[in-house]
Structure 1
Amino acid sequence: MTQTEIKNGINEICEISLEVDSFYHDNSALVSKLNSVPKSDIEKAINYYAPRTGVIVDLRKEVLDYLNSGNKLDIPKLDGFVLKHKTGKENQYRAYKNYYSIFFPIITFYGHNSIRDFIDSFIKEIIIDLNIDGEVKSIYFDFQGARQQGSDRLWLAIYNIKQETQSTGLQFFLDFYKGKVKYGIYRHSDKTYVKGPVENLPNNFVYDDMIKLFAENKNLIVSDVPEKDAILNIALENHRLYKISHGSFKSKSKEITLNTFIENQWIVIHENTGKGQSDAFKNELTDGDFVYITLGGNELLSLAKVKAGSWGYIPEDITGEEGWIYREVEYFKKPIKTDISDLKSFKEFIYPSGNSTLTEITVDKIDEANERIFEPFFFVHFISEDATELKANGEVVKLPNNVILFGPPGTGKTYKSIEEAVKVIQGVISLNHEENKSVFDNLKKEGQIEFITFHQNYSYEDFMVGIRPDIESDQLKFKPYKGIFYEIAKRARDNYAASSLEKPKERSFQEVFAEIIKPLSETGQSVKIKMSSGIEYTITDVGDYSIHFSKPNGTSLHTLSIQTLEEIVDGLREFASGLGPYYNPLANLIRERKKEIKSNRTEPKKNYVLIIDEINRANISKVFGELITLLEEDKRIGKKNELRLTLPNGEKEFGVPPNLYIIGTMNTADKSIALIDIALRRRFEFIGYFPDYTRLEENEGLLLKKINQEIYARKKSADFLIGHAYFMAGIETSKVLKNKVIPLLIEYFSGKIDVVEEILKDTGWNITYDIQKYDWNVEFKL
């Protein structure tokens, strides 16, 4: 290249950078440029987009057709096109910050070909003049941007050929921005210049001065080779580790798309990916987490570290379809082996061939993943201190027995209670909420978890012990009732006692009773029970609560209570008269069979969890009664200050075991913590949950933050804020505002329309109350 060619090329790029900068601030400048695009370029763009479709693509196509018909745009006309395509699809427009980010292809696709040709030649010229051909590779992004959403700068980087990307090493770097050109030796990892930078207006740029600076520091780039000799130990600390598969892009036809992901340092997933994986991708991945990236079961791509920031939609120009979303990461380690045929036989989700897109490698799987994946294929060993939570005997780290998750509505308290319950019992949880919910449901079926929602009419008799009408009797009478707390406390107490004695597990009442009536339940064959006199009575039917039987004389209008039978078996009740001759032989039979050991396996210690949703909506002191004392950790069975008491039903020596955990949730908008009974507050740990704006897309996060600032300014309390979960249900923002947020604000501020309008005034939305229709108008400001 001649010096003149270089000078002209630098001038042209700097002039374009000034022009593009004006498009970011002045829509009239952008409209004027769109109107001046040559008809030949418009026709080429129309042909390019003809086979394509998508939310943004369809908007571009309509604008191109309008221009191609000889029409001229103005700002109102462009606003109208945008509003037409954006309405009802606001989510897909979140990533587009200005009109240039939407319409740049009309200007740059063909209008900027000359500067792309110049940059290709310019990079070759630099490499030849520095005599580093074969030792480096290069990359550049023009005013279309790395994400195909437009950019106000053009930059290029030349870096060591052995580095995975320009972001992992040092680079010769040039940056064209706002009419100036800047160059130097740049390190992307901490965004600093090792040498330079030198910044010039185009008229002052001297190519030979730049080459001199680069030549003097050439050895920095040539010697910048990643170390491969020793295993890299990475401490996870408080971060997590995942697998993510880009298997949808493994075909040769998707190579350009995949390379774009690598250049942009992205991991991607489709928003329709099931089993909660896309939600986890959006909301659970956090800054500092690690991922290993696969191309399905065929190839390992890289190790990467998640960077701060929210997710965003990938432009349809890159993927060719809607719905793909990305998170920014730092690719830091390529695999040292590309042949992964040794891993093909492993089908668990953590492996490349596992049928999942996003999976957490939990602490109990890290050693296995290190041995089979990370050490042999990446020369990396991940270290997790959290793995010590799983002790050799299967016990878990001690957690508080009594916890209340509190906060304003929509902050994820009930959602989190499910995961906390699973964590209490298993020691670890999955990243995937649906997987945790599946474990939760199984544990609930097995009796280790119970879930109850308190309300104003909930009582001690519902929660602990009381009496209920006997609906199976033809006479008015009552029967004892055991509440949800009593039942789960009994299961936890039985397990604690058996595991503490280290004796073989005794069979449960339910197991033995089901075995006795098995002929009746499976074949309809009646079951005979021998009485102390030697004669037999016959069980003819078993309901949910009662046992129907025929006396030896043949009369059959008689029932036994299953609950009463269980109490007799457990020694909690005696029945010497009346129906005693029928209860006692059956109870004795059950006692004998309970002692029959089917296995030498001892009872393992288990944790049990009672979740009380909306715990503050009931009269807590009345519901808990004397239990309030037994809940204290040092008053539980086996502790130094163990307490037991007699229940109102006469049962003696009732205590609460240490393996029973209570997780409550509390909506502070209903009742502040300050109004909770002090005795209860003293016995529970309170963990606050508040709006987390980082879990939302940027625009929605800013919107919710502004609303909450206005609420706090008026209420002087965080109890009435609005949580992020309202904006995470996949509902359009306008509908969330109208159907969720506004009704809540109306309630908070006693129906005062003017106050609600004032709160929503500077949120970027036009929100007004129509006094003719008595309805709210909610529109996004363009």
Structure 2
Amino acid sequence: MSLKPIRSLTADDLGIGIAAATAGHASNRPDEPEVGIDDPLAVEALWLLERFGGIIYTGPPGTGKTWTANKVAKALTRGVTSRIRYVQFHPSYQYEDFMQGFRPLKEGGFKMEDGHFVSMCKAAQRDPKHNYVLVIDELSRGDCGRIFGEALTYLETSKRGLPFKLASGEEISVPSNLVVLATMNPLDRGVDEVDAAFGRRFAQVSMEPSRTALQQFTEVSELAEPLAKGLLRFFDFVNQRARSNPHAAVGHVFFHDVNDAESLRAVWDYQLRFLLEKAFRLDQQGFREVQGRWQAIFPPEESDSDEESSAQASVSEQVDAEQA
């Protein structure tokens, strides 16, 4: 029986969700244990890479996309960081940055130099027994068709190793041991261009907010039970709202380092408030409801004012009524 390629999978479908990693107390800290080649993250990536030219991890902010791409890259190279290169796309990123282009010389004039992709192709060709990994963060923020140029076609598994010419006239090929991993926010304006360029070439793995992962975070950090329960209620509420307002989705990784009320408040004060104000900029009542749910996480005596205490009490009564 032949396997049919799957073009869009969830991390849970593949068994590589962030929850699986947190079960081993994983984090994105530099001193954490590395993912081995036999780890589910790497095993499933290898399965996909046999069928597709690369993998795009796609999902809202805070769902572990970059964490997963980094872990897979380290696993596929067995931790040899010299065989990994990280780039980040942005609106002004060009073919000359990524493929090949002229660079100014200090003494005057210009010199043709390889960009990140071409230099990684050449490095992989010189060392065919080992994997080389190019990690592209925020793929959807760049004009992928313009950045990759003629190389797009040759990312496909069936066209690896076939020679083609760059704009400069130099002939190269994309070796089979060059792995391309990317991350993408599906709400970015450039997503349609990514779908057009990579839709049939790359597998897409959906990374969604995970209640299970958040619960594991709170258990590992030993967050006080009342705060943990309140946080989970808020998480459920805001991501329920995100079904009709996708920009409001809140990933579990925002709360990875939370271990007390102070660190939990800091997540709202310095990150979530701005994300959600933008998501609800045309729905002020919706933002007030979300803000009230956040305030209800904390005991009323910790509030900054009587008015805030009253708002928290009102929301708490509403939560209790919903649970009844």
What's 2:114 paired with? 482
Report the Cα distance in structure 2 between the residues aligned to 1:630 and 1:454, rounded to whole angstroms: 20
Identify which of 732, 735, 751 aligns with 2:266. Answer: 735
- 1:653-668, aligned counterparts within 5 Å? 654-668=172-186
Amino acid at match of 1:705: D
- 1:608 & 1:760 partners in 2: Cα distance? 45
Q: Give the aligned partner of residue 283 of structure 1.
A: 22
**How far apart are the structure 2 equivalents of 1:455 and 1:650?**
26
- Aligned pair partner of 1:711 in 242, 267, 271: 242
Cross-structure match for 1:721: 249
Equivalence for 1:404? 56
Mapped contact 2:139–2:182 kept (Cα < 8 A): yes
Deviations 1:403-458 (A, max 9, x none): 110000011111111111122223xxxxxxxxxxxx3xxx23x2x10001111110
1: CA distance, partners of 2:173 / 2:101 = 17
Change (3 A) 1:285 1:738: same
Cα distance change on mapping 1:359 and 1:419 into 2, 3 Å: closer
Q: Are the counterparts in 2 of residues 409 and 667 from structure 1 also a CA contact under 8 Å?
A: yes
1:748 and 1:660, CA in 2 relative to 1: closer, same or farther beyond 3 A?
same
Q: 606, 628, 638: which is aligned to 2:130?
A: 606
CA distance in 1, matches of 2:111, 2:295: 62
2:278 aligned residue (747, 753, 759): 747
Cα pair 2:141 2:190 within 8 Å, conserved: no
User: 1: distance between equivalents of 2:149 and 2:35?
Assistant: 44
> Secondary structure of 2:236's match?
helix
CA distance in 1, matches of 2:86, 2:201: 20
Provide closer, same or farther for how the CA distance between residues 720 and 492 of structure 1 changes in structure 2, counting only shifts above 3 A: farther
Counterpart secondary structure, 2:133: strand
Name the CA shift for 1:706/1:614 in 2 (closer, same or farther; >3 Å): same
Unaligned 5+ runs, structure 1:
1-237, 240-279, 287-355, 365-383, 390-395, 427-438, 497-604, 638-642, 768-775
Residue in 1 that maps onto 2:210: 692
TM-score (norm 2): 0.70
3-state SS of paired residue (2:199): helix
Q: Could you say what the CA RMSD is over the residues aligned between the two structures, in angstroms?
A: 3.6
The letter for the 1-side match of 2:281 is S
Cα deviation, residue 762, structure 1: 4.4
The equivalent residue for 2:124 is 492
Equivalent position to 1:679, from 189, 193, 197: 197
One of 651, 657, 667 as aligned partner of 2:170: 651
Which residue of the partner structure matches residue 141 of structure 2? Answer: 617
State the Cα deviation string for residues 492-551 of structure 1 (Å, max 9, x = none). Answer: 11222xxxxxxxxxxxxxxxxxxxxxxxxxxxxxxxxxxxxxxxxxxxxxxxxxxxxxxx
d(CA) in 1 for partners of 2:312 and 2:265? Answer: 8
What is the CA deviation profile of residues 134-181 of structure 1, one whole-angstrom value per residue up to 9, with x for unaligned ones? xxxxxxxxxxxxxxxxxxxxxxxxxxxxxxxxxxxxxxxxxxxxxxxx
Report % sequence identity: 30
Find the aligned partners of 2:205 and 2:111 in 1 and give their Cα distance.
Answer: 40
Match for residue 421 of structure 1 among 54, 70, 73: 73
d(CA) in 1 for partners of 2:249 and 2:189? 13
> 2:35 and 2:109 mapped to 1: Cα distance?
56
**Structure 1, residues 661-683: CA drift from partner, whole Å, max 9, x if none?**
00001122323744534132221
Q: Secondary structure at the match of 1:452?
A: strand
1:88-103 superposed matches below 5 A: none
The residue type paired with residue 481 of structure 1 is E
* 2:103 aligned partner: 468
Q: Provide Cα deviations, 1:535-589, integer angstroms capped at 9, x if missing partner.
A: xxxxxxxxxxxxxxxxxxxxxxxxxxxxxxxxxxxxxxxxxxxxxxxxxxxxxxx
Query: Are 1:449 and 2:84 counterparts?
Result: yes
| TM-score normalised according to structure 1 size | 0.31
Matches within 5 A, 1:293-692: 399-400=48-49, 401-426=53-78, 439=79, 443-444=80-81, 446=82, 448-471=83-106, 473=107, 476-496=108-128, 605-637=129-161, 643-652=162-171, 654-671=172-189, 673-674=191-192, 676-692=194-210
2:243 match: secondary structure: helix
The Cα of 1:753 is off from its aligned counterpart by 3.4
Higher relative contact order (CA 8 A, sep 6+): 2
* Larger fraction in strand: 1
